[in-house]
């Protein structure tokens, strides 16, 4: 608590939880990246690739991503409504239960409790826990919105509301299952239906955790950090509604050329292409906000994070729909190209925006100056170079892999065995690992900078 009555302890708690899970998730990421070219690292069942890969995705998606979202959401909600948290005790319980759930998730996945539904691997008791945690968050969100002092709800709040509602719908529908015992359950849906539900969930959980709330951060922190108002309010309105409308139709582009009925695949392609428009609505809104002030890319370290971040969002939302097209999908799907695609969004867009949001927020909630702007710049360059090297390596590797799978001899027989294609990627896997190390060092600099920031003496100037 401070003199404004805002409760920042939970913001701080979630921010440092996010940092903690970010470091853990990346260590596991490096470990499995190494296993990709050296299977000797599969030293116990608990550390085998099949089990650890899901610890990596859950640890970063839920541990880092969600904690970062909760930290910034609790901050933005209080500032944008000019209202203190209605239930600070509940928010604190939310923080502790969240971390306990992520720890339990990591241990259970390493123990092999895995429903195998991508991004929804947790077994049912943990699913129940996730729903409870989400309700705790939602109670605070809606209570603060109802009690708010500010009449109009700013753009960021729209995105937070959409996230809160949609994630609840997605998570509950996709995770419906029949329990066998405390540790195992079977999906309520079977075969093609199960696949359809899963990728409706899988695509949208990425959308409503890695796009929607990160856009909320972007719309709030970009004007704050640059001192410039968002270029067009009307464009934000159009972008918002068309984004959340179109998103939910597109999940089946993950299931191109599978036994899923073709009409669902075709509808998914059409809406995926349409989705470029609202995505770029936000990208353009961001760029135009800076019009006439592009010198900030040199003078304001935060602007760099936001603008390069939203650029990766723009590239991601072009690449996504294109690789959803049937012919391109036939070539790229199941290859490392897709892995490169995912990581441009997560290592580029999500991590850059959350980083900048934390750099803006942490000094303000703790009453301390940022420890080092120079280190923040080093962090920026390390994660930019690391991410680019990482994704470009995977794109090239993916093209090679796709081409080798498709290559035929003049007599029509296959030119390469599956293993030929795999082993030809090992050099790329080594490069990818090295790029991951560069990125990881950047994240360590980030964590160090924020830890040193809160360890300093409070400064009068920082509280603004």
What CA–CA distance (Å, rounded) separates 321 from 275? 8
Phi and psi of 348, rounded to 5°?
-90, -80
Q: At what angle do helices 9-35 and 49-58 cross, to 10 degrees?
A: 150
The reply on whether position 234 binds other proteins by CB under 8 A is no
The reply on whether position 64 binds other proteins by CB under 8 A is no
Q: Among residues 96 and 418, whose Cβ is nearest to other proteins? A: 418
User: For other proteins, which residue of 3, 227, 419, 464 counts as binding (CB under 8 A)?
Assistant: 419
With CA atoms as reference, report the closest residue to 61 among 25, 86, 89: 25
* Residue 145 near residue 157, CB atoms below 8 Å: yes
β partners of residue 186: 178
Structure tokens at 36: 């990709």
The reply on whether position 89 binds other proteins by CB under 8 A is no
Segment near other proteins (CB under 8 A), from 16-24, 180-188, 362-370, 373-381? Answer: 180-188
User: For other proteins, which residue of 231, 405, 441, 452 counts as binding (CB under 8 A)?
Assistant: 405
Rounded to a whole number, what is the distance in angstroms from the first to the last CA of the chain?
Answer: 15
369 contact partners, CB below 8 Å, separation of at least 6: 363, 453, 456, 459, 461, 462
Segment near other proteins (CB under 8 A), from 92-100, 265-273, 361-369, 436-444? Answer: 265-273
Structure tokens at 147: 């009690």
Using CB under 8 A as the binding rule, the residues of this chain from 200 to 229 that contact other proteins are 200
Using CB under 8 A as the binding rule, the residues of this chain from 295 to 354 that contact other proteins are 330, 334-335, 338-339
Torsional sign, CA 103, 108, 110, 113:
negative
Using CB under 8 A as the binding rule, the residues of this chain from 110 to 139 that contact other proteins are 112-118
Segment near other proteins (CB under 8 A), from 19-27, 382-390, 417-425, 449-457? Answer: 417-425
Residue 60's Cβ-count burial label (10 Å; 0-12, 13-18, 19+) is: buried
The reply on whether position 365 binds other proteins by CB under 8 A is no
168 contact partners, CB below 8 Å, separation of at least 6: 131, 134, 138
DSSP annotation of 210 reads I
The reply on whether position 245 binds other proteins by CB under 8 A is yes
User: For other proteins, which residue of 423, 427, 451, 459 counts as binding (CB under 8 A)?
Assistant: 423
User: For other proteins, which residue of 166, 282, 319, 393 counts as binding (CB under 8 A)?
Assistant: 166
The reply on whether position 97 binds other proteins by CB under 8 A is no
* Residue 109 near residue 56, CB atoms below 8 Å: no
The reply on whether position 171 binds other proteins by CB under 8 A is no
Number of residues that bind other proteins (CB under 8 A): 91
Q: Among residues 419 and 461, whose Cβ is nearest to other proteins? A: 419
The reply on whether position 399 binds other proteins by CB under 8 A is no
Q: Among residues 78 and 115, whose Cβ is nearest to other proteins? A: 115
User: For other proteins, which residue of 5, 191, 229, 458 counts as binding (CB under 8 A)?
Assistant: 191
The reply on whether position 161 binds other proteins by CB under 8 A is yes
The reply on whether position 261 binds other proteins by CB under 8 A is yes
Q: Among residues 39 and 458, whose Cβ is nearest to other proteins? A: 39
The reply on whether position 5 binds other proteins by CB under 8 A is no
Phi and psi of 58, rounded to 5°?
-70, -40
With CA atoms as reference, report the closest residue to 401 among 327, 338, 321, 323: 338
Q: Among residues 193 and 459, whose Cβ is nearest to other proteins? A: 193
Phi and psi of 37, rounded to 5°?
-120, 0
Using CB under 8 A as the binding rule, the residues of this chain from 13 to 42 that contact other proteins are 35-39, 42
The reply on whether position 432 binds other proteins by CB under 8 A is no
User: For other proteins, which residue of 11, 73, 215, 252 counts as binding (CB under 8 A)?
Assistant: 252
Give the shortest CB-34-to-other proteins separation in angstroms: 10
The reply on whether position 248 binds other proteins by CB under 8 A is yes
* Residue 140 near residue 90, CB atoms below 8 Å: yes
Structure tokens at 455: 């360890």
């Amino acid at each position: 608590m401070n003199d404004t009555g805002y409760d920042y302890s939970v913001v701080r708690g979630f921010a440092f939880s996010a940092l903690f899970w970010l470091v853990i998730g990346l260590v596991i990421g490096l470990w499995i990246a190494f296993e990709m070219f050296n299977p000797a690292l599969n030293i116990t069942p608990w550390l085998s690739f099949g089990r650890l890969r899901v610890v990596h995705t859950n640890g970063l998606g839920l541990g880092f991503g969600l904690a970062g979202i909760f930290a910034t959401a609790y901050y933005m909600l209080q500032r944008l409504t000019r209202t203190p948290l209605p239930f600070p005790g509940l928010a604190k319980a939310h923080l502790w239960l969240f971390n306990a759930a992520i720890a339990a998730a990591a241990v259970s996945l390493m123990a092999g409790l895995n429903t195998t539904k991508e991004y929804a691997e947790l077994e049912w008791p943990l699913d129940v826990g996730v729903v409870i945690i989400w309700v705790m968050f939602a109670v605070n969100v809606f209570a603060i919105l109802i009690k708010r002092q500010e009449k109009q709800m700013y753009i960021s709040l729209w995105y937070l509301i959409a996230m809160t509602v949609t994630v609840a719908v997605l998570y509950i529908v996709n995770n419906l299952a029949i329990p066998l015992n405390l540790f195992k359950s079977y999906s309520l849906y079977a075969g093609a239906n199960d696949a359809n539900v899963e990728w409706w969930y899988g695509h949208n959980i990425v959308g409503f955790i890695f796009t929607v709330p990160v856009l909320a951060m972007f719309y709030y922190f970009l004007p704050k950090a640059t001192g410039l108002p968002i270029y067009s309010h009307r464009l934000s309105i159009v972008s918002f509604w068309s984004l959340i409308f179109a998103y939910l139709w597109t999940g089946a582009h993950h299931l191109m050329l599978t036994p899923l009925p073709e009409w669902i695949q075709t509808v998914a392609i059409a809406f995926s292409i349409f989705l470029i428009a609202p995505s770029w609505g936000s990208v353009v809104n961001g760029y135009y906000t800076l019009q006439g002030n592009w010198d900030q890319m040199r003078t304001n370290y935060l602007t760099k994070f936001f603008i390069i971040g939203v650029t990766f969002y723009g590239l991601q939302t072009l690449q996504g729909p294109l690789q959803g097209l049937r012919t391109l999908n036939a070539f790229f799907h199941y290859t490392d190209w897709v892995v490169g695609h995912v990581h441009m969004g997560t290592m580029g867009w999500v991590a850059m925006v959350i980083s900048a949001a934390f750099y803006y927020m942490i000094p303000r909630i703790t009453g301390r100056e940022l420890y080092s702007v120079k280190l923040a710049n080093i962090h920026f360059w390390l994660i930019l170079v690391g991410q680019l090297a990482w994704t470009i390596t995977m794109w090239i590797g993916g093209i090679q892999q796709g081409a080798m799978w498709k290559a035929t001899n003049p007599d029509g027989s296959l030119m390469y065995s599956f293993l030929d294609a795999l082993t030809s990627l090992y050099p790329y896997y080594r490069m990818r690992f090295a790029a991951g190390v560069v990125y990881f060092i950047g994240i360590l600099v980030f964590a160090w900078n924020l830890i040193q920031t809160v360890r300093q003496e409070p400064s009068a100037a920082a509280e603004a």
